[in-house]
Amino acid sequence: MVNAKTLGDLIKLKIVEEVDHKNLNIDVEFLKGKFTSAENLAIGIWNELQPDIEKMGVALHCVKLIETRSIYVEYFG
């Protein structure tokens, strides 16, 4: 089990600060050279978080990226 604050801080540092108000095609290192679809963003988020979460002794189950109420992507690694 992982502390929710610790997980939130990791997500803020590794994801939110990297993608918020940025040009995903140019400014986000983990998306360079990739088509910026919701699917590729979810995969990129997984790849950024998974090693750090694994170090915490837990497993990352899923990344769910929601665009609208009926449009979303889930990535299970």
Confidence of residue 1 (pLDDT cuts 50, 70, 90): confident
pTM summary value: 0.92
Domain of residue 57 covers 4-75
The total of other beta-carbon atoms located within 10 Å of residue 30's CB is 17
Query: Mean of the pLDDT values across residues 2-22?
Result: 96
* Burial of 8 from C-beta contacts in 10 A (0-12 / 13-18 / 19+): exposed
Confidence of residue 13 (pLDDT cuts 50, 70, 90): very high
Does residue 38 contact residue 65 with C-beta atoms inside 8 Å?
yes
Counted domains in the chain? 1
Query: Mean of the pLDDT values across residues 34-42?
Result: 95
